[in-house]
C-alpha cells in the first residue's frame, strides 16, 4: 500500500470545480513529480493535501486522500493538526513568505522541533543545528543566529527545508521549491531533496512546472492539466514515449544543450480559466490531434503500457528499436 494514495479527488470552490478526479500515489523512498503549467491546479492540490482547503472556502466534493491508510478528506481539523508538520510537511516556493523576518532562522527551526517533537529549548536547538548540518548549511551554529535577510535565496530555501524536516515527517510536499533560484542553486536543491528521499526513506511530492526538474529528480510523474490528470507513469517511460499530446508538448519545451538561439518551443494558447473549462477534453482547444469527439467527450484515464493516459487520440508508442527525437 502506497503511503499517499489520492483517489479520484474532486474539490469545489464555490461554483467551480478546479480539481476533477485527480489520481496518483507516492510511496516511501519515492519522488513523484506533479507537473503542469500555471493554472493547472498544482498548488491547490498541495493545499488540499495539507488540509488547508477550508482557508480557501473550498471543500472536497468526492474522492479520497489515503495517507498511511487514513482518509484525510474525512479527517476533522483537530486530528489534521496532529499530522500537519509532524508527518506531512510543506516546503513553499518563496522562502521569504515562509520565514518570519523578525526571528532568527534558528529560532524558527527550533519552534518546529518543539511543537512537533516536544523537545525542550536545548534539545530543539541541537536538533536544528544537526538538521542544518545535514543540509550542508555551512557554519550551522553561527547560521542559527542569523535573520532571513542575511541569507542568500538558496540558503533561505535550505532553511525552509530544515523547518520541514524538524518534525521528522514521512511525506514532504515541495511546491515549486526551485522557482526563484538560479540554475546552479536549483540543481543543488533538487539534488538535496533527492538525497533526503534516499537516506531518510521519505516520500516526496515535488510540484513543478519544469519537466527538466522532473527528469532530474523524480521516479514517477503525474501530468496535470486544467485540474485533471492527463498522463502518469514512470519518468523513464513517459520521457521516452509520451502518449498524451500535452506531455509531449511539455517535454518539447525543455531546452537542449547546443540548441540554436531562437528555437525554443512553446505551447500555443493558454490553460483555460476555472469558469471556461471546455466540456470534453480540456486540452482539446490547444491540441493538434483533437477531433470533433474531443470537444464533446471527456477522455477516461486508461492504462497504456506502464502509463495512465486520458486521451481519445493518444500518440503511438515507438516500435521496438525506435526512439523519439528529443
User: Hey, CA dihedral for 293, 294, 299, 304, is it positive or negative?
Assistant: positive
Cα separation, 203 vs 199, whole angstroms = 11
Decide if pLDDT at 320 tops 70.
no
Split at pLDDT 50, 70, 90, the class of 179 is: confident
The answer to which of 177-181, 236-240, 288-292 has the lowest mean pLDDT is: 177-181
144-174 per-position pLDDT tens digit:
999 999 999 899 999 999 999 999 999 999 9
Instruction: Give the pLDDT confidence score for residue 98 in this predicted structure.
Output: 84
- State pTM to two decimals: 0.93
Q: Rg for the chain (alpha carbons), in Å?
A: 21
112-122 per-position pLDDT tens digit:
999 999 999 99
Split at pLDDT 50, 70, 90, the class of 256 is: confident
If one compares 121 and 183, the residue with the highest pLDDT of the two is 121
269-312 per-position pLDDT tens digit:
899 998 899 999 999 999 999 999 999 999 999 999 999 999 99
- Give me the chain's average pLDDT, please: 91
The answer to which of 83-92, 138-147, 174-183, 287-296 has the lowest mean pLDDT is: 174-183
Instruction: Give the pLDDT confidence score for residue 319 in this predicted structure.
Output: 56
Q: Three-state SS for 37?
A: coil
CA distances from 77 to 45, 52, 118 (A): 17, 9, 20
Cα separation, 202 vs 47, whole angstroms = 19
Instruction: Give the pLDDT confidence score for residue 326 in this predicted structure.
Output: 40
Instruction: Give the pLDDT confidence score for residue 227 in this predicted structure.
Output: 96
Query: Is-contact 230 283, C-beta < 8 A?
Result: yes
Q: What is the 3-state secondary structure (H, E, C) of 202-245?
A: CEEEEEECCHHHHHHHCCEEEEEECCEEEEEEEHHHHHHCCCCH
Amino acid at each position: 500500500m502506497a503511503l499517499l494514495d489520492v483517489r479520484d479527488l474532486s474539490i469545489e470552490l464555490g461554483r467551480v470545480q478546479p480539481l476533477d478526479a485527480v489520481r496518483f500515489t507516492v510511496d516511501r523512498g519515492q519522488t513523484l513529480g506533479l507537473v503542469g503549467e500555471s493554472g493547472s491546479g498544482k498548488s491547490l492540490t498541495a493545499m488540499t493535501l495539507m488540509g488547508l482547503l477550508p482557508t480557501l472556502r473550498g471543500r472536497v466534493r468526492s474522492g479520497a486522500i489515503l495517507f498511511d491508510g487514513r482518509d484525510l478528506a474525512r479527517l476533522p481539523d483537530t486530528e489534521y493538526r496532529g499530522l500537519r508538520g509532524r508527518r506531512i510537511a510543506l516546503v513553499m516556493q518563496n522562502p521569504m513568505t515562509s520565514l518570519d523576518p523578525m526571528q532568527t532562522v534558528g529560532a524558527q527551526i527550533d519552534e518546529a522541533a518543539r511543537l512537533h517533537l516536544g523537545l525542550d529549548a536545548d534539545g530543539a536547538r541541537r536538533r536544528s543545528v544537526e538538521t542544518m548540518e545535514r543540509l550542508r548549511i555551512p557554519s550551522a551554529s553561527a547560521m542559527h543566529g542569523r535573520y532571513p535577510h542575511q541569507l542568500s535565496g538558496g540558503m533561505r530555501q535550505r532553511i525552509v527545508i530544515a523547518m520541514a524536516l524538524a518534525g521528522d515527517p514521512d511525506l514532504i510536499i515541495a511546491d515549486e521549491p526551485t522557482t526563484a533560484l538560479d540554475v546552479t542553486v536549483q540543481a543543488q536543491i533538487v539534488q538535496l531533496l533527492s538525497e533526503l528521499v534516499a537516506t531518510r526513506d521519505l516520500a516526496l511530492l515535488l510540484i513543478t512546472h519544469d519537466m527538466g526538474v522532473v527528469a532530474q529528480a523524480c521516479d514517477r510523474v503525474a501530468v496535470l492539466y486544467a485540474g485533471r490528470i492527463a498522463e502518469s507513469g514512470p519518468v523513464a517511460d513517459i520521457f521516452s514515449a509520451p502518449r498524451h499530446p500535452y506531455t509531449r508538448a511539455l517535454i518539447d519545451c525543455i531546452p537542449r544543450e547546443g540548441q540554436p538561439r531562437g528555437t525554443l518551443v512553446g505551447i500555443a494558447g493558454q490553460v483555460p480559466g476555472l469558469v471556461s473549462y471546455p466540456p470534453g477534453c480540456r486540452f482539446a482547444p490547444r491540441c493538434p490531434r483533437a477531433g470533433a469527439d474531443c470537444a464533446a467527450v471527456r477522455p477516461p484515464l486508461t492504462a497504456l503500457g506502464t502509463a495512465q493516459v486520458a486521451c481519445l487520440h493518444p500518440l503511438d508508442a515507438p516500435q521496438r528499436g525506435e526512439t523519439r527525437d528529443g
